[in-house]
């Protein structure tokens, strides 16, 4: 695998933690890029916490990403699935299977190569174990993709974001920028107003914007509401276009 070939073929979305809205950001990015003529696909290689449905494991995240990228079969988006809401390594172990890293890399590399542009969503944070000794950070490095960091904008954002950026820089991974996601509908606090500027100053990483809370998204029904509009108005993605 020639990692350099992937630099302009996709972006990897990594969270500062779990449940920070990576899938919403990924879906918004996909829809905007497609709107502006870039044939963008989605890939979330592994999902845990999937529910049993129609004789198989259903991933709500995979369904949403598939809808955003206009992919009919969400199995194409997320081929590896586990029912337990745990890290991939632990879920696979407890469910009596193992993740083949070589096969995972081959699948991801082929998918990226065969599409114009791919938004790849990780699982959890940067150091979530895929196997006992292979982490999300290793997958990013092996794929050679630049990274967008997604995090909460509220209290704790500085610590979580700085730790993630530090770990990315230590591994010489390219950071395109940081997107903060507003997860609750409420009045903006002083913390939320000041965190982005403070983090930009401390990390010297581009601040791509703060995605506001979007009331009309229905994840269960894969209805995006005003997500694309909110993305266009609040997130800087010129570098990806």
Whether 1 shows a pLDDT value over 60: the answer reads: no
What integer pLDDT is reported at residue 240 of this predicted model? 79
Whether 2 shows a pLDDT value over 80: the answer reads: no
Average pLDDT score over residue span 60-80: 97
Average pLDDT score over residue span 211-233: 93
CA pair distance 232, 12, nearest whole angstrom: 19
Q: Which two structure tokens, joined as six digits, stand for 100?
A: 């083949």
Q: Closest Cα partner for 188 from 220, 170, 166, 210?
A: 210
Q: Is 169 a catalytic residue?
A: no
Which residue pairs from 71-75 have beta carbons closer than 8 angstroms and sit at least 24 positions apart in sequence?
71/41, 71/42
Q: At what angle do helices 190-203 and 157-170 cross, to 10 degrees?
A: 20
Average pLDDT score over residue span 50-66: 95
The CATH number for 3-240, chosen from 3.40.630.30, 3.40.50.300, 3.40.50.720, 1.20.1200.10, is: 3.40.50.300
Average pLDDT score over residue span 208-219: 93
Give the dihedral sign, CA 42/43/48/51.
positive
Strand order in the sheet with 117-125: 40-43, 117-125, 10-15, 147-152, 175-181, 207-211
What integer pLDDT is reported at residue 4 of this predicted model? 59
Q: Where are the domains of the chain?
A: 3-240
CA pair distance 168, 160, nearest whole angstrom: 12
9, 22, 41, 44: which is the annotated catalytic residue? 44
What integer pLDDT is reported at residue 3 of this predicted model? 60
Whether 5 shows a pLDDT value over 70: the answer reads: no
Task: Yes or no: say if 16 and 149 are a contact pair by the CB < 8 Å rule.
Answer: yes
List, for residues 10-47, the tens digit of each pLDDT value.
999 999 998 899 999 999 999 999 999 999 999 999 99
List, for residues 131-149, the tens digit of each pLDDT value.
999 999 999 999 999 999 9
Q: Which two structure tokens, joined as six digits, stand for 211?
A: 């995605």
Task: Yes or no: say if 65 and 47 are a contact pair by the CB < 8 Å rule.
Answer: no
List, for residues 102-132, the tens digit of each pLDDT value.
999 999 999 999 999 999 999 999 999 999 9
What integer pLDDT is reported at residue 154 of this predicted model? 87
What Å distances lie between residue 105 and 2, 111, 142, 172, CA to CA?
12, 10, 8, 19
What integer pLDDT is reported at residue 188 of this predicted model? 84
Assessment of whether the complete model's pTM goes beyond 0.75: yes
């Amino acid at each position: 695998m020639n990692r350099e070939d992937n630099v302009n073929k996709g972006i990897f979305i990594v969270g500062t933690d779990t449940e920070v809205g990576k899938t919403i950001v990924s879906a918004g990015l996909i829809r905007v890029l497609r709107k502006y003529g870039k044939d963008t696909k989605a890939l979330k290689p592994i999902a845990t916490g999937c529910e049993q449905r129609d004789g198989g494991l259903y991933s709500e995240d995979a369904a949403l990403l598939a809808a955003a990228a206009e992919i009919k079969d969400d199995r194409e988006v997320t081929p590896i699935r586990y029912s337990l809401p745990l890290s991939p390594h632990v879920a696979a172990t407890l469910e009596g299977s193992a993740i083949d890293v070589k096969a995972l890399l081959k699948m991801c590399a082929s998918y990226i190569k065969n599409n114009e542009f791919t938004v790849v969503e990780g699982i959890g944070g940067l150091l979530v174990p895929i196997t006992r000794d292979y982490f999300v950070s290793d997958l990013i490095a092996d794929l050679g993709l630049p990274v967008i960091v997604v995090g909460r904008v509220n209290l704790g954002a500085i610590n979580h974001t700085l730790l993630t950026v530090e770990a990315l820089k230590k591994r010489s991974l390219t950071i395109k920028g940081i997107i903060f996601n507003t997860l609750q509908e409420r009045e903006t606090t002083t913390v939320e107003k000041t965190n982005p500027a403070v983090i930009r100053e401390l990390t010297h990483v581009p601040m791509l914007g703060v995605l506001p809370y979007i009331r009309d998204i229905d994840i269960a029904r894969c209805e995006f509401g005003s997500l694309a509009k909110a993305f266009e108005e609040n997130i800087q993605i010129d570098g990806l276009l």
